[in-house]
Amino acid sequence: MIRLIGYFFGIGTTLALLVAAGLAIYIGHLTKDLPDYEVLAKYEPPVTTRIHASDGSLMAEYARERRLYLPIQAIPDRVKAAFMSAEDKNFYNHPGIDITGLGRAIIVNLQNFGSGRRQVGASTITQQVAKNFLLTSDQTYERKIKEMILAFRIEQAYSKDRILELYLNEIFFGFGAYGVAGAALTYFDKSVNELTVAEAAYLASLPKGPNNYHPFKHADRAIERRNWVIDQMVENGYVTREEGDKAKAEPLGVKPRRNGSYLFAGEYFTEEVRRQIIARYGENALYEGGLSVRTTLDPKIQLIARKAMQNGLLKYDTLRGYRGPVTHIDVSGDWGVPLGAVKGLEDVPEWTLAVVLDSSADGLTIGIQPARQVSGDLVKDRVEGTVSKDDMGFAMRHFVNGKSVRAKSPAEVLEPGDVIFVQKNEGSDNAYSLRQVPEVEGGLVAMDPHTGRVLAMVGGFSYAQSEFNRATQAMRQPGSSFKPIVYSAALDNGYTPASVIMDGPITIQSGNTTWTPKNYDGTAAGPATLRSGIEKSRNLMTVRLANDMGMKLVVEYAERFGVYDHLAPYLPMALGSGETTVMRMVSAYSIMANGGKSIKPSLIDRIQDRYGQTVFKQDERGCEGCNAAEWKNQPEPELVDNSEQVLDPMTAYQITSMMEGVVQRGTGATIAELGRHIAGKTGTTNDEKDAWFIGFTPNLVVGLYMGYDTPRGLGKGATGGGLAAPIFKDFMRVALDGTPNVDFQVPEGMKLIAINRKTGMRAAEGDPNTIIEAFKPGTGPADSYWVIGMGADGSNGAGGALSPQANQAIQDGGGGLY
């Protein structure tokens, strides 16, 4: 018997050794193909890029995986406790594998064998790190063994805190959120530091299967799982029973954070920044790089700009009548469902969509588009309102088959089923006014002239309606707003504000092509000073001036100011018939406002990488004495401006002074009502297709245009002074409120001399037609009367021949008008 027992023991031992050897060989084979766990030391996950306004307000987030990486020290103990309770309560005690949990899982799987139930695992947090970072999610024993081996190795190479940090920043939570910081923002719009016990427990319940515990589709299942996690936190001693019961009594409270742009009215600006980052660093840097971008946007000024521009567009549009409803739906049943499917303008929250339920001679009965609950479902309640005949007065002039028709009753304009935009009347519960998305569009830019920082940008009426940015992308003729460039070139090259030019008929002939430019009002005033020419925006004077000094000089200054990259040297271009953008025009005027220094328009102040290192800074000025270790009575630190001087500072003041005259008594006189030191210039293109105004104070430049996207006439008499200048005025009235009324600084050495407005000669004592004019050293009023552009025989003079390309330019543009 003893020999028999020994015999069987030997066989058993041999078999055990063979099995052990086989396992060793098998495991050895598996370890040859294991990935390098040392890559965890260099782990750089895709991280969300965040864009901020100048005051720190969050403008937008961009990510393929919405993740904000947090070091373990920044994650609250309560949040860590929730995840360890849900996933691995012995995390800080096991060597990578929880033997107790593994044994429990084996027993459960043996009991469930053949039942068809899914096998349970006992993965520790370390094993999940190994799987998520280094392996696939295949449900195989081979992958499980690899996972265990890697878990042991990871535990030997990294601290527990580092492993937990990797886990909490990598896991997927659903709703596109990765990492606990991203999940806290996505689900609760909170930072992890603000999470309650209940909220932390719910997030900890999600890694098992985010869709299984969806807060809206499977709310009961989600609450059950969350409460189980809370019970585990109590059992493990992380929270008291009282805290646990209180947390379990709370609702889920999920408030999904919307994606994309967050700062109201900043959509056009944000999109322009997005394009610039992609152009500079590529798409991967934007969507995975975790950049922190500080922009130049001033949210307060942006709101002012949006309101002024929208009001101006609406005022123009409503005067031209009503073009009809947005669409038409069936209202015989539940009108809320089809109305809820109609897309509105999310960036115009003052407006809402409504459907006409009844129309009569007195007005409309309307149904308001139902709001959506957090779950995305429409609110079941149906809200009705009214639109009186007075509150839709502009629509009494409406269009039928393309023709304008006068209606006597609202019932002639709209019928039941018509979907319309309305705005609630102030102080009323259910009274609304009819609204219409304007056809006319425009762009506006506000800029700091000393730095080029873009403080506000409006690219159109609504970004939701059209993403095309009319401030930076629309190529438009600037019309007479280009004239200050022409006059700056003249003042920089021997002319003075008192130089006299003939404002009289002129004809340019080339072969069979004849160009006869005209002033806007069709009249000619005779000889007048340069100041008068720009204040009254005289085309004939500008053409003669450009002809006298040569278009090559005008082209040089236009390109030096950055208005154009390449401008054809033809006379019509002197009247602004070449195409450019609002951004470029505002940048050019900034040069005049800042004393003649070149500026580079910027939307971005600074970009930092995921580690906080600055990788881009717009301000390139040096600072002498900024890094002194201590103060030893040395001079104060001084910023060194290395900007190129592209215009004589005295010339910059002269053209500024002349444009102050545009505001005080010229084509922009409506702005004089503000009582501010403002210089500016109107612009209107051929056939009134575009209306411009660009103006500035010593510290703020604002430019805008109004026009149809497919250029067509704005109507007879539509000018920059009548359409664009009032928008500028509305903006400046609010933007400058509470700021000092700063005057433009006269450069040292400049002479201020009283001259006669008409002759440009020194004014006699008591002359009522006097104005103070600025002259550079060595210049002054003329001693004798001389008119540029008048022939020796006393005629008005004539231009020379034009090239075929210039003939085409005349036919295409013709130039600015007013």
Any idea which residues carry the catalytic annotation? 87, 480
DSSP code of residue 372: B
User: How many of the other CB atoms lie within 10 Å of CB of 655?
Assistant: 29
**Amino acid, single-letter form, for residue 472:** T
End-to-end CA distance of the chain: 122
Distances in Å between the Cα of 379 and the Cα atoms of 236, 240, 370, 577 are 42, 39, 6, 53
Token pair for 337? 């469902």
Q: Is 531 helix (H, G, I), strand (E, B) or coil?
A: helix
Token pair for 659? 């444009």
Distant-in-sequence, close-in-space partners of 62: CB < 8 Å, separation ≥ 6? 48, 49, 51, 274, 286, 287
**Are the beta carbons of 441 and 314 closer than 8 angstroms?**
no
In whole angstroms, give the CA distance from residue 383 to residue 460: 31
**Amino acid, single-letter form, for residue 84:** M
Q: What angle do CA 357, 361, 365 make, to 5 degrees?
A: 20
Token pair for 425? 């009347």
DSSP for 428-481, written as a single string: -SSEEEEE---S-EEEEEEE-TTT-BEEEEE-SS-TTT----TTTT--B--GGG
Dihedral sign computed on CA atoms, order 434, 437, 442, 445? positive
**Are the beta carbons of 265 and 302 closer than 8 angstroms?**
yes
Q: How far out from the chain centre does Cα 378 lie?
A: 30
**Are the beta carbons of 599 and 487 closer than 8 angstroms?**
no
The helix or strand, by DSSP H or E, that contains position 765, with its residue range, turns out to be none
| CB contact burial 481-515 (16+ within 10 A = b; e otherwise) | bbbbbbbbbbbbeebbbbbbbbbbebebebeeeeb
In whole angstroms, give the CA distance from residue 28 to residue 21: 10
In whole angstroms, give the CA distance from residue 94 to residue 701: 66
Q: Is 403 helix (H, G, I), strand (E, B) or coil?
A: strand
Distances in Å between the Cα of 559 and the Cα atoms of 489, 546, 802 are 11, 15, 22
DSSP code of residue 513: E
Q: Is 533 helix (H, G, I), strand (E, B) or coil?
A: helix
Distances in Å between the Cα of 66 and the Cα atoms of 132, 174, 259, 262, 271 are 17, 10, 10, 15, 19
Contacts by residues 97-103 (CB-CB < 8 Å, ≥ 24 positions apart): 97/124, 97/126, 97/127, 97/148, 97/151, 97/152, 98/122, 98/124
Phi, psi of 49 (to 5 degrees): -90, 135
Q: How many helices (H) and strands (E) does the chain have?
A: 22, 30
Distances in Å between the Cα of 220 and the Cα atoms of 208, 215, 259, 383, 774 are 16, 8, 26, 30, 79
Partnered with residue 744 across adjacent β-strands are: none
